[in-house]
Amino acid sequence: MNAPVEETSPALRRILQEDAIGQLRRRDGEMAHLGSEDGALKLDWVEGVDRLLQDSQLLEQVESEAISLWNTGIRHIIWSGMGGSVITVRVLADMGFCDGYNGTHIAIYPLDSTDPAALNSIVRQIANAKKMEIPQTIDHTFLSTLLQDVMMIGVSMGMTSEEPMTHLEWFTACLEQAHLPLDTHLMVMTLPGSYLDKFAQQHSIPSRPLQPDGGTGTGGRMSAPATRVFLLPAAIYLTRAFQAPGHLRTVLAQSWQQYNLDLATQNPAQHPFVQLAARLSDSSVEGSSRLLLDFSDEWQALPQWIEQLMEESLGKGGKGIVVFNQQSLNTHAPTYHNNGLLSVHVIAHEEQHSFSYTVVQPYMNSSNGQERLAAVATQFLNWQLCMALYGYLQDIQFAGQPAVENYKARARALRTASDPLVITSQWPDVVKQDGLTLLTPSGTTLYETAAETFTHALQAIIKALGTLDYLDITFNGLISHDVSSLMHIYQRDTGNVNLGLPVKVRRAPAAYHSTEQSEMDGPARLVSLRLLAAQHEPSLLGDYTDMFLRAQAISTWQAMLDVHRACFLLVYDNEEQLHHFFDGVTNRSGILERE
- SS3 per residue for 243-286: CCCCHHHHHHHHHHHHHCHHHHHHCHHHCHHHHHHHHHHHHCEC
Burial 10-42 (b: 16+ CB within 10 A, else e): ebbbebbeebbbbbbbebeeebeebbbbeeebb
- As a whole number, mean pLDDT of residues 142-165 equals 94
pLDDT at 208 over 60: yes
Give the pLDDT of residue 492: 95
Question: How much is the mean pLDDT over the chain?
Answer: 94
- As a whole number, mean pLDDT of residues 226-254 equals 96
Q: How confident is the model over 541-583, as pLDDT tens digits? A: 999 999 999 999 999 999 999 999 999 999 999 999 999 999 9
Starting at the edge strand that comes first in sequence, how are the strands of the sheet with 566-572 ordered? Answer: 430-433, 436-439, 566-572, 526-533, 470-476, 503-508
Q: What is the DSSP string of 187-230?
A: EEEE-TTSHHHHHHHHTT--EEESSTT------GGG-TTTSHHH
Q: What is the DSSP string of 162-177?
A: -HHHHHHHHHHHHHHH
* Domains of the chain with CATH codes: 18-45+253-394 (3.40.50.10490), 59-244 (3.40.50.10490), 402-594 (3.40.50.10490)
Q: How confident is the model over 315-331, as pLDDT tens digits? A: 999 999 999 999 999 99
Tell me the pLDDT band of 158, cut-offs 50, 70 and 90. confident
- As a whole number, mean pLDDT of residues 266-281 equals 97
- Cα–Cα distance between 448 and 436 in angstroms, integer? 12
Report the relative pairing of strands 436-439 and 470-476 from DSSP bridges.
unpaired
- As a whole number, mean pLDDT of residues 80-94 equals 97
- Cα–Cα distance between 166 and 411 in angstroms, integer? 14
Phi/psi at 545 (nearest 5 deg)? Answer: -105, 180
Residue 303 CA, distance from chain mean position? 9
- Cα–Cα distance between 579 and 259 in angstroms, integer? 46
Give the pLDDT of residue 4: 54
Cis amide leading into 441 (omega within 30): no
- As a whole number, mean pLDDT of residues 48-58 equals 97
Q: How many residues does the chain have?
A: 595
- As a whole number, mean pLDDT of residues 366-376 equals 96
Give the pLDDT of residue 5: 52
Tell me the pLDDT band of 37, cut-offs 50, 70 and 90. very high
- As a whole number, mean pLDDT of residues 243-260 equals 96
Tell me the pLDDT band of 408, cut-offs 50, 70 and 90. confident
Strands (E), 372-525: 430-433, 436-439, 470-476, 503-508
Give the pLDDT of residue 419: 86
Give the pLDDT of residue 594: 44
pLDDT at 506 over 70: yes
Quote the pTM value: 0.96
Give the number of C-alpha atoms closer than 13 A to the C-alpha of residue 268, restricted to the C-beta side. 26
